[in-house]
Structure 1
Amino acid sequence: SMFQLGKILVLSLVAGFGTASIAANAVSNTIANFQILPGMAIGLATITVVSRCVGAGDYEQVRFYTRKLLRITYLSMILINIIIDLGLPLILWIYNLTPETGMITKQLILYHSICCVTIWPFSFTLPNALRASNDVRFCMVTSIVSMWVWRIAFSFVLAQFLHLGVFGVWVAMTIDWLFRAICFVIRYRGSRWQLKSN
């Protein structure tokens, strides 16, 4: 798929930054999966809850439960990220990384945790409410365009041309999140997505 191709392109870029960056990126990706785990779980619940409300034609309930689930996502993400950040020295010790790899990993994870508790829910939980309302095409097009323009193109700009290395790749990833969040919030605040279920 396009998303897998995008991942391969980004990984090929990271591969050019040396073994420390490759190892830090791999370890950080593993830890990052735990940082977003509550959000992913609640995202699946959002599809189920919202689709039931849409089926009943009750869009007041759709908005009520979307806001409620977003609040729960934020609270759970804040909690898990605080735990991971506090336990990061122990986690890095378990991985037995070199000092350089450990330093890069710590930088990536702390940056990722900040973005997780600010941007992530609007980028990934909110669009599940739109998808549950059958606004699938908008979500898909937004995600694909955002990935190619921000995550992939900006990875090369920040990592290579601005010499930010692997950190630039992660910054580009969160710029992708931010663009998606803006698009999905604007879409949600309107009413066109409600027409898709009719």
Structure 2
Amino acid sequence: MTATAKSQGPLFTKRALFTLIWPLLLEQTLSVTMGMADTLMVAGVGEAAVSSVSLVDSLNILIIQILSALATGGAVIASQYLGRRDEENASRSAAQLYSVLGISTVAVGVVCMLLSRPILRMVFGSIDEDVMRFAQQYFLISAVSYPFIGLYNGGAALFRAQGNSRISMLASLVMNVINIAGNALLIYGFGMGVIGAALATLIGRVFAAVFILWQNQDLHNPLRVQRFADLRPRRRPIMQILSIGIPSGLENGMFQIGKLCVSSLTSTLGTTAIAANAVANSVSTLANIPGNTMSLATIPVIGQCLGAGEKKQAQRYSVTLLGIAITGLAVTNAALFFLMPEVVTWFNLSAEASAMCTHVVHWFNLFSIFFWATSFTLPNALRAGGDAKFTMSVSIVSMWLFRVILSYIFVLQFHLGLTGVWFGMFIDWICRSLCFLVRFARGKWMEHKVI
């Protein structure tokens, strides 16, 4: 990364931004490929298998997103310390992040393994017995992988915080190659179905965690754990991490719980709707790759600017990254809109499910171009400034008021089916966009003391 000592000089050159962004773009593409590979390969087992993987993945995302919020907190703290040129405290905060993630992910994994069936029954209610059987198998193995995906996310966030996104990209590459190869071997070679897909994901996450922890200990890494004693929990750095991590975790948690409520609503529409929704969610992530990439890039860029006291640069880079996100989303969504009739044929769905899936994805493409980046990329600039409580409040209120409640109204009162579920989400995006744009324009998000 290129940075200058003079306060008036740009902290990130165009070359530095490109060096940060292109590995993130590849990493996000690989991440989406992993999700689609699971769905595609399990699709051959039948719609019950697709439905079970979809339902459990929505629960997995809830748990992983809550825990990953701690990684966001650690990345914000580390990036601001690096912007201030305080590598000693940056390294200590990194060690504390690993400790917090290790303890929390192991605890959550054990609870989910012990209570897998009651949790699934509580969240998804009455579902077909075949779907429940597949779901429990997938959930048990997924729970074993939580500590590994947690450590991977933490390490990846810390590498991005210093502008080194190449390492997290390589770790994602390792994880995806193992996952896809494992899917081919276990699902098709040994006929293990859902269990094979889960085991392949687990093995990939183990290797990714080991790889990124090994890279963390490179002598040239300013955020490496220098002494084993640094891993012992300490109040001040943990509180700094939690000041961002807890609001972000609550935001992610309530967001995903809301999505689970909507998933429960979708499950009442039948196996065809569940399968169509699963594929639509998987395919739509392809179009979101540019937005997710810029969301990841925003944390280190804005964090380092604010750590160095460069508020004008923080504003300027926020607008630049948002503009790139919107442009990229326009390209990918336009492409998916026209290719969707062909793409949906990859998933072995029934004619009814295919038509349903194509319909909602087309609507997604239109709304995503105008509202996705301002809903999900822009708030990362606010979080990098320590404004996590505001983003939490807006996200929770908008999620429950619009995405959840409106979805139930659209489905149960207006009988719009799966389309009603997705329109509740679109209205949620519009509300978030308005709130975050106003907050950004006023500049209050840069006034927080984070370190």
- Output the CA distance in 1 between the equivalents of 2:287 and 2:363: 12
Q: Which residue of 1 aligns with 2:312?
A: 60
- Output the CA distance in 2 between the equivalents of 1:25 and 1:85: 16
Which segment is superposed worse, 38-47 or 88-97? 88-97
Q: Check whether the contact 1:135–1:197 (CA below 8 A) recurs between aligned residues.
A: no
Q: Check whether the contact 1:159–1:168 (CA below 8 A) recurs between aligned residues.
A: yes
Q: Which residue of 2 aligns with 1:8?
A: 260
- Output the CA distance in 2 between the equivalents of 1:100 and 1:115: 24
Which segment is superposed worse, 4-13 or 20-29? 4-13
The one-letter code matched in structure 2 to 1:194 is M
The one-letter code matched in structure 1 to 2:301 is V
Work out which of the residue numbers 362, 366, 369 in structure 2 matches 1:117.
Answer: 369
- Output the CA distance in 2 between the equivalents of 1:196 and 1:78: 33
Q: Which residue of 1 aligns with 2:299?
A: 47
Q: Which residue of 2 aligns with 1:181?
A: 433
Answer 1 or 2: higher relative contact order, Cα 8 Å, separation at least 6: 1
The one-letter code matched in structure 1 to 2:351 is P
- Output the CA distance in 2 between the equivalents of 1:154 and 1:57: 42
Work out which of the residue numbers 90, 107, 130 in structure 1 matches 2:342.
Answer: 90
Q: SS of the residue aligned with 1:118?
A: helix
Q: CA distance change for structure 1 residues 143 and 91 in 2, over 3 Å: closer, same or farther?
A: same
The one-letter code matched in structure 2 to 1:96 is N
Residue 379 of structure 2 corresponds to residue 127 of structure 1:
yes
Q: Check whether the contact 2:255–2:395 (CA below 8 A) recurs between aligned residues.
A: no
Q: Check whether the contact 1:35–1:84 (CA below 8 A) recurs between aligned residues.
A: yes
Which segment is superposed worse, 117-126 or 77-86? 77-86
Residue 425 of structure 2 corresponds to residue 155 of structure 1:
no
The one-letter code matched in structure 2 to 1:61 is Q
Q: SS of the residue aligned with 2:377?
A: helix
Residue 168 of structure 2 corresponds to residue 168 of structure 1:
no
Q: Which residue of 2 aligns with 1:72?
A: 324
Work out which of the residue numbers 342, 356, 362 in structure 2 matches 1:104.
Answer: 356
Q: Which runs of 5+ in 1 are unaligned?
A: none
**% identity of equivalent residues:** 38
* Aligned structure 1 segments of 4 or more residues deviating by more than 4 angstroms: none
Alpha-carbon offset, residue 9 of structure 1: 1.1
Alpha-carbon offset, residue 7 of structure 1: 2.1
The one-letter code matched in structure 1 to 2:346 is I
The one-letter code matched in structure 2 to 1:150 is F
Q: Which residue of 1 aligns with 2:269?
A: 17
Which segment is superposed worse, 134-143 or 95-104? 95-104
Alpha-carbon offset, residue 157 of structure 1: 0.8
Which segment is superposed worse, 130-139 or 80-89? 80-89
- Output the CA distance in 1 between the equivalents of 2:310 and 2:332: 33
Q: Which residue of 1 aligns with 2:286?
A: 34
Q: Select the structure of larger CA radius of gyration.
A: 2
- Output the CA distance in 2 between the equivalents of 1:57 and 1:76: 30
Alpha-carbon offset, residue 96 of structure 1: 2.6
Q: Which runs of 5+ in 2 are unaligned?
A: 1-252
Which segment is superposed worse, 105-114 or 17-26? 17-26
Q: Deviations over 1:77-119 (max 9, x none)?
A: 1111122222212211111322221111111111101111100
Q: SS of the residue aligned with 1:196?
A: coil
**Matched residue count:** 198
Work out which of the residue numbers 138, 162, 174 in structure 1 matches 2:390.
Answer: 138
Q: SS of the residue aligned with 1:117?
A: helix
- Output the CA distance in 2 between the equivalents of 1:21 and 1:47: 36
